[in-house]
Amino acid sequence: MSHRLLFVAAAAALVAFGSGAACAHDMQHMTMDAPAEPTSASLYNLESKWTNQDGASVPLGALGGKPVVAAMGYTSCKDMCPAIVANMMWIERHMSEDAARRVTFAFFSIDSAVDTPAKLKVYADEHGLDPGSWTLFHGDDDAVRELAAALGVGYRPDGLGGFDHAAVISLIDDKGEIVVQQRGTQASSDELLAALNSLLEKRN
């Protein structure tokens, strides 16, 4: 399955980026490292390895059993990533405390070289991300590429030490399948929040 997810088509990737990204650089001729459409299969079948902000090895399958609100970005990003995290925090704030505890908020770094678990820990602390609900993940380049392909998140180095990437927040069900995605930093989170609440109601 992982080989299929890693297939990259330049034209499709441009669509993926255009639908979810807002970057400061001229991306007219850019190709991205992800297809336009996310996979419909369980993300928990992926073979990639990840480490959380506490330095513990965590397979993707460990997220199973409850809904996950997931996004990809990197800690030194100054424009889209703060907006992505703010949108995720908005979703968390608009849930009851009990409901929020039944959801995992997952942030996967695309910067495998810089975003070590220790740096992710600092980032989580600086942003007040509750470790009871939030998990930040570090993976190697292959892990990032595989997950980005599965989620339909286009990205590439910007040549300035950072990345141009699509802004995508995904709601993943307890089996690891994508329920709905929010694309673009200006998109409303209401639809994703409603879908999340619906998932939680079905689990009651």
**What CATH number did the domain enclosing 126 receive?**
3.40.30.10
In the chain, the percentage of residues whose pLDDT exceeds 70 is 80
Confidence of residue 77 (pLDDT cuts 50, 70, 90): very high
3-state secondary structure the chain: CHHHHCCCCHHHHHHHHHHHCCCCCCCCCCCCCCCCCCCCCCHHHCCCCCEECCCCECCHHHHCCCCEEEEEECCCCCCHHHHHHHHHHHHHHCCCHHHHCCCEEEEEECCCCCCCHHHHHHHHHHCCCCCCCEEEEECCHHHHHHHHHHHCCCEEECCCCCEEECCEEEEECCCCCEEEEEECCCCCCHHHHHHHHHHHHHHC
Q: Does the pLDDT at position 178 exceed 80?
A: yes
For 115-148, how does the pLDDT look when each residue is reduced to its tens digit (9 = 90+)? Answer: 999 999 999 999 999 999 999 999 999 999 999 9
For 15-74, how does the pLDDT look when each residue is reduced to its tens digit (9 = 90+)? Answer: 334 444 444 333 333 334 444 466 668 999 998 899 999 999 999 999 999 999 999 999
Provide the phi-psi class of 74: left if phi over 0, else alpha when psi is between -120 and 50, else beta: beta
Q: Which amino acid is at 183?
A: R
Domain range enclosing 42? 2-203
Q: Quote the pLDDT of residue 17.
A: 42
With 0.85 as the threshold, say if the pTM is over it: no
Q: Quote the pLDDT of residue 184.
A: 84
Q: Does the pLDDT at position 10 exceed 60?
A: no
In the chain, how many domains are there? 1
For 79-105, how does the pLDDT look when each residue is reduced to its tens digit (9 = 90+)? Answer: 889 999 999 999 999 998 889 889 999
